[in-house]
Structure 1
């Protein structure tokens, strides 16, 4: 029996044999060609069914490295605020061709991470985003709270943040710009995007810091200033929260090929 309960999103694809997966209180019998999606922090366990050998692929990854502006628009969906991602497994069960497509993409990710050819990080990142797109388009929308996916109403805010990352961003000013009270805007933004406004700003700052660290000849202090953070202690703390390492170690990891690509493996 294999058990798990972690903060990563996990996909399972059966190559041969049969297993049974339990996600919280739900049982999922799986055979060749079946896939299963497990949301972050959902307790689950797996065991074999029968005596035949079982072969399957496991892909698990954290969402944070993929939170560019396009994906942040759907953060609420993948953060499971309205419903667990595992709810879509019943829909995927009815789409064998889609499950096969997912399986082939997972095999491609496994090959890329094993061979580590030039640009494999780009390939795996694109494949992960394609998988997330398939989940979004074919998984159906859960029942949602008021305004939960009305991201278009916040486009001016998202654009403002990207255009003013080097400056102090004040939520009071933003709420006035949107014609809302401070507290209403705070609640509304979180209900739509799925994270507090300042957490969104921090995410955008760190993503921009990543780009600058890897593409510009700047000191860490200069990078922090470019993304609007003048307190270096706070910058280091924030960066480490996103990457579990400091900026210089992040650059060394990227340059040596020890990148934060998703893990794809066979048991």
Structure 2
């Protein structure tokens, strides 16, 4: 099994977007579980135009036909393959949402920043809402056309389309996963989240983090939970386990060494957290990376 961090080279660095149409032709080999997985910081949307496409994540398999769409969250392990003898054509949109978190977006920050749950959970929208699926597919095509053709003002148009895409998801969210919440001060929270990301292998002291935020220990604890939806220690643990998931799949180190590399020395605690966030042990998680090629999911 091969797994790598895919570098995403933006066509326009100011927009933090890469969008491209891919085609796959020729004889189709026997369909087997994937052997090549990858991940990247950017979230990914895929729109199938012709043919049949299969996308794997550790927990789910999405079989996509023409007109169907799927979204994969930031740093999420995934793999893909063509499913039919007919030619496959699909558009892939990679986007880093950080530049799009302006004041109007901040009430929804913790959702699109995947603080509480992965964006992959939103794929139920495309399975249940035909209009939303068509609208998002059309927006992806519009972003592709703007970036590739580069007419005057394409930067403005592409940025507007990204916002329109996010708005479409918000309004089609019948399960209430993207509900508006407490306004988030990005200047306060942004550096804190970056600090955590950079120091997952180290001891992260709440006292030091609250000092960075210019708040008392107790006030910061309440502030973080109120704005982010989860306690600070829970957020840190989620990030540690997410890093451990990628390390398990990409490195040859033992589970003990991986746990230590993400800042968890107590193995009982590590296994407890891994089960809490994944519903399985690290060994069972790795087994998911070679799923049954016959299974599929759409929610």
**TM class by shorter-chain length?**
0.5 to 0.7
Q: Taking structure 1 as reference, are residues 158 and 40 closer, same or farther at Cα in structure 2, changes over 3 Å only?
A: closer
Matching residue of 1:151: 182
Q: Taking structure 1 as reference, are residues 115 and 193 closer, same or farther at Cα in structure 2, changes over 3 Å only?
A: farther
Say whether 1:91 aligns with 2:125.
yes
Would you say how many aligned residue pairs link Structure 1 and Structure 2?
173
TM-score, normalised to structure 2, is 0.52
Mind listing any 5+ residue stretches in structure 2 that lack a counterpart?
A: 1-33, 189-209, 230-299
Mapped partners of 1:37, 1:118: distance in 2: 29
Mapped partners of 2:120, 2:129: distance in 1: 15
Q: Taking structure 1 as reference, are residues 182 and 63 closer, same or farther at Cα in structure 2, changes over 3 Å only?
A: same
Q: Taking structure 1 as reference, are residues 34 and 193 closer, same or farther at Cα in structure 2, changes over 3 Å only?
A: same
**Aligned counterpart in structure 2 of residue 21 of structure 1, from 33, 55, 62:** 55
Mapped partners of 1:151, 1:14: distance in 2: 36
Q: Taking structure 1 as reference, are residues 96 and 114 closer, same or farther at Cα in structure 2, changes over 3 Å only?
A: same
Mapped partners of 1:184, 1:92: distance in 2: 41
Check conservation: 1:8, 1:41, Cα contact below 8 A: yes
Q: Which portions of structure 1, spanning 4 or more consecutive aligned residues, are displaced by more than 6 angstroms? A: 157-160
SS at structure 1 position matched to 2:115 = coil
Matching residue of 2:80: 46
Cα offset for 1:53? 0.6
Say whether 1:185 aligns with 2:236.
no
Cα offset for 1:107? 1.1
SS at structure 2 position matched to 1:21 = strand
Mapped partners of 1:73, 1:188: distance in 2: 17
**Aligned counterpart in structure 1 of residue 154 of structure 2, from 120, 133, 136:** 120
Deviations 1:235-258 (CA, angstroms, capped at 9, x unpaired) = xxxxxxxxxxxxxxxxxxxxxxxx
- Which of the two has greater helix per residue? 1
Check conservation: 1:59, 1:106, Cα contact below 8 A: yes
Mind listing any 5+ residue stretches in structure 1 that lack a counterpart?
A: 161-170, 176-180, 196-267
Cα offset for 1:106? 1.1
Matching residue of 2:143: 109
SS at structure 1 position matched to 2:141 = helix
TM-score, normalised to structure 1, is 0.57
Say whether 1:132 aligns with 2:166.
yes
Cα offset for 1:23? 1.6
SS at structure 2 position matched to 1:42 = coil
Tell me how large the CA RMSD over aligned residues is.
3.0
Deviations 1:50-87 (CA, angstroms, capped at 9, x unpaired) = 21111111111101211211112211001111111101
Mapped partners of 1:133, 1:187: distance in 2: 30
Mapped partners of 2:187, 2:87: distance in 1: 52
Check conservation: 1:76, 1:192, Cα contact below 8 A: no
**Aligned counterpart in structure 1 of residue 96 of structure 2, from 50, 62, 66:** 62
Say whether 1:141 aligns with 2:172.
no
Cα offset for 1:159? 11
